[in-house]
Structure formats: structure tokens, C-alpha cells
């Protein structure tokens, strides 16, 4: 994602009320494979789905995007604002609820740069790639004033215990 003032339509305007996020196992596997293919650079993409009852987001589809960051792509990512706008305007795909990106050598927590560049109202899913096997991704929202990061429960459907 890029800093700046992209006037996007956040479908997830109620993201601050969210408590949990679910994603089908097959979609999660596609997302993780995309991140692994782009290692050692950060991979990024869009999270599409619906918000049910204001507290639960179901991610039905992910859309891989190119990392357009200038500089060290192993430590940062940027989604082209024009490509994002086109994706948000799609009437064929489910609405864009947020963004995923990988941390090839970092944790599943948002970095200071991630928080500073965040778009309030969006969900963020961070896919850590360090470790054997790599840990499960983590989901977050970020308060509009960027003062607080809230972790959400992430449910990968079809995984034992979920």
C-alpha cells in the first residue's frame, strides 16, 4: 500500500467493530503460495468478501497484486492506487475488504511502516514466512488515527480445531 491520500471506497467502514475473520482453506493456501513464490520480496494482494453482522468478515477471494514499491521490496510493499481503484470498482468480484502482504523475514505483527501507511477501515492480513513450518497469518485492523492496532481472530476454515 502506499502512503498518501488515495480517495478509496472502503467497504469495510465497520472494520473497527470486527472481531474475527474467516477464510476458506483453499483460498488461504493460494494466498500463502503467492507469498512464498515472491520470497524474499514482500508479496501483496487484496482480500475480498463480505462482513456478516458487523463482527465477522468472511474472505471469499484473494487477488494477488504486484508489489510496486520502489526500493527494498524485501521490507516494504506498495499497491498501485490505480490498480486498487480498478479492483474496487469491479462489479464481478466480491468487495475489497482489505490487503494482505508477507513478511519474508519478520513476524506476523504490523511494522511501524505498515501502521504509518495503513488505510483506516481496511482489514490487514500479514503472512509471516520465517520458520518451519511458517506460522499462520494474522489479521488486524488499525484505528483511524493510527494510534492502535487491533488483532482479530483468524479462522482458516477446514483446519482441525477451527
Which candidate, 74, 89, 60, places its Cα nearest to that of 157?
Answer: 60
- What percent of the chain is predicted at pLDDT more than 90? 54
Which candidate, 11, 46, 22, places its Cα nearest to that of 121?
Answer: 11
pLDDT top residue among 34 and 132: 34
State mean pLDDT over 20-32: 95
**How confident is the model over 45-73, as pLDDT tens digits?**
999 999 988 889 999 999 999 999 998 99
**How confident is the model over 127-147, as pLDDT tens digits?**
999 877 778 899 999 887 777
Q: Which positions ≥6 away from 115 have C-beta within 8 Å?
A: 142, 146, 149
Sign of CA dihedral 20, 161, 109, 28: negative
Q: Is the pLDDT of residue 13 over 60?
A: no
pLDDT top residue among 122 and 162: 122
Q: Is the pLDDT of residue 5 over 90?
A: no
Strands (E), 9-85: 20-24, 44-52, 56-65
Q: What is the pLDDT of residue 144?
A: 78
**100 to each of 34, 41, 63, 118, 160, how far by Cα in Å?**
11, 14, 9, 12, 23
State mean pLDDT over 14-20: 74
pTM for the structure as a whole: 0.85
pLDDT band at 101; cut points 50, 70, 90: very high
Alpha carbons 27 and 33: distance in angstroms, whole number: 10
Q: Structural domains in the chain? A: 21-157 (3.40.140.10)
Locus of grid cell 488499525:
142
Amino acid at each position: 500500500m502506499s502512503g498518501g491520500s488515495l480517495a478509496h471506497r472502503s467497504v469495510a467502514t465497520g472494520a473497527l467493530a470486527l472481531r474475527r475473520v474467516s477464510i476458506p482453506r483453499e483460498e488461504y493456501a493460494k494466498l500463502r503460495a503467492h507469498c512464498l513464490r515472491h520470497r524474499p520480496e514482500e508479496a501483496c494482494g487484496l482480500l475480498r468478501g463480505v462482513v456478516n453482522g458487523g463482527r465477522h468478515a468472511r474472505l471469499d477471494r484473494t487477488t494477488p497484486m504486484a508489489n510496486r514499491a520502489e526500493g527494498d521490496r524485501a521490507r516494504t510493499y506498495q499497491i498501485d492506487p490505480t490498480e486498487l481503484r480498478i479492483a474496487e470498482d469491479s462489479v464481478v468480484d466480491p468487495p475489497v475488504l482489505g490487503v494482505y502482504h508477507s513478511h519474508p523475514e519478520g513476524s506476523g505483527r504490523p511494522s511501524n511502516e505498515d501502521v504509518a501507511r495503513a488505510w483506516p477501515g481496511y482489514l490487514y492480513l500479514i503472512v509471516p514466512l520465517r520458520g518451519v513450518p511458517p506460522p499462520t497469518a494474522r489479521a488486524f485492523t488499525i484505528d483511524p488515527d493510527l494510534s492502535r492496532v487491533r488483532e482479530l481472530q483468524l479462522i482458516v476454515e477446514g483446519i482441525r480445531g477451527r
